[in-house]
Structure 1
Amino acid sequence: MRNSGIEVLFEGRNFLRLLEGLWVTASIALAAMAISVVLGVLLGIVMTSRNRFVRACTRLYLEFVRVVPQLVLLFVVYFSLASQAGVNLGGRTAAVIVFSVWGTAEMGDLVRGAIRSTPSHQVYSGLALGMTSAQVYRYVVLPQTIRRLLPVTINLANRMIQTTTLVVLIGVVEVLKTGQQIIDANRFAHPTAALWVYAVIFLMYFAICYLISLLSKRLERKWQS
């Protein structure tokens, strides 16, 4: 492998820098996902409301988030809203805010669909047995909703991790930006380093998403047994 470019990964702290960049990526995704799950569950319940005005407002929010690209939201929050409000907003904070807004909308729609998929006769049976609406939600609807949500929530988490690559455009030094810095710093000494650096970044993303998928399958088997 002499002069192949792979040796750049083992020079100095280059590989450790990639791992540090990966942690930045993962921390943004984890924070945004945690917020999205909590707020998304609440939003999904609200989206099943019988009030037409409430449903219209939540639907408008969902469609707005889906239509506007995440990159545009990043630019708006980081460059426009922060300066207009006079707030010194860091790139990582802006990224967590934007991905939480997006993730909450997606999670809310998933929760709404999972709740709606609960057979109506089970709800009516619970009410006929003397349970209140809150008890039906707690003991009948939500347990089934959680089981249905697991695979799609894991898929959303993977999408969240992949989408974090956009934060490089607002100056966040995550794994992709770190890789670009390593390539630029060794452009003349190792002109073919880009292939190996990007290959390692690809493997890092693949490893994280694959491990999350394995965890999802294990939980599904455990709950179905």
Structure 2
Amino acid sequence: MEFLIERLPLYLEGAWVTVQLTAGGIALAFVLAMFFGILGTRSGRFPRAVSTVYVEVFRGIAALVIMFWMAYALPIATGFQLEGRFAAILAVGLNLGAYGAEVVRGAINAVPRAQVEATVALNMSWSQRMRLVVLPQAWAQMLPTFGNLSIELMKATAVVYLIGVADLTAVAQQMRQGTGETVLAFMGALVLYYLIAQVMILGIRLLERRANRRLGRIPSDGGGLLGLLRPPTPAAGGGK
């Protein structure tokens, strides 16, 4: 315990880098997922083809390979050197964004066809249909899977030390090499990764409950803090 307490500031610095990488990767992945996911639902062949190419390419390549390419191959090919953290964010964002795009596409297609047809009958534009009817319902369906993808993205950042980024895993590795205390060195990283994941899970569940409450699927009180500790359960007869 004394080992971890003495080195806590170093672990917290590494954890802060991990949080920054996770936040940046989630932001990029979310933008890409929404753009290419919505593009994949359009009626034209060209938009769907563009979405399919992005999804299949980046879903089929490991995030670590993309990271190495961004950090080492891109400078040789273009002469442009990316900063390590930015390369890592691009890699995990591009990779997880491809998975997220399929989540968005599936959630949008799951919205009842009758509701979409009703918006057409009301002479709503495409942007009005998406903003007022389709996306609010699809958003509630996307969130559980988005939460899982966000956790996976956070865990994917554990390899960024391989391109020289001093994240939480890099700190644990340095502690192991410097002190020989393998178990204690990685125990500190294990606990902090777990805490980061739990905070993310609580945040996602809060968003889930808010989205379902706006759709009338759960009671307005939401069960308080204890309600956030368990997955949201739709109210009887809700969402019809």
- Would the TM-score normalized by the shorter structure come out above 0.5? yes
1:8 to 3, 25, 29: 3
Identity percentage of aligned residues:
32
Alignment of 1:51-62 (within 5 A): 51-62=44-55
Q: Deviations over 1:181-207 (max 9, x none)?
A: 1121112xxxxx221221221111111
Q: How does 1:181-192 map to 2 (within 5 A)?
A: 181-187=174-180
Q: Report what 1:173 is aligned to.
A: 166
Please list, as runs of the form range in 1=range in 2, the aligned pairs for 1:42-53 lying within 5 A after superposition: 42-53=35-46
2:129 match: 136
**Aligned partner letter, 1:52:** R
Q: For residue 206 of structure 1, what is the aligned residue in structure 2? A: 194
Q: Shift in Å at residue 96 of structure 1? A: 1.0
TM-score (norm 2): 0.83
Question: What corresponds to 2:139 in structure 1?
Answer: 146
Structure 1 stretches of 4+ moved >6 Å: none
Give the Cα separation in 2 of the matches to 1:30 and 1:100.
10
RMSD: 1.5
Q: C-alpha separation between the residues in 2 aligned to 1:131 and 1:63?
A: 33
1:190 maps to: none
Letter in 1 for 2:135: L
Number of the residue aligned with 1:77: 70
Superposed CA offset, 1:52-91 (max 9, x none): 2321232122111121111111111111112221123221
- Residue 117 of structure 1: CA displacement? 0.5
State which of 74, 83, 102 in structure 1 corresponds to 2:95. Answer: 102
Q: Which residue of 1 aligns with 2:184?
A: 196
The residue that corresponds to 1:124 in the other structure is: 117
1:217 is matched with 205
- Normalising by structure 1, we get a TM-score of 0.88
Specify the code of the residue in structure 1 equivalent to 2:15.
L
- Tell me whether 1:160 sits opposite 2:148 in the alignment: no
Paired letter, 2:8? F
User: Structure 1 stretches of 5 or more lacking a match?
Assistant: 1-5, 188-192
The answer to whether the 8 Å contact 2:104/2:142 transfers is: yes
RCO greater where, 1 or 2, for CA within 8 Å and sep 6 or more? Answer: 1
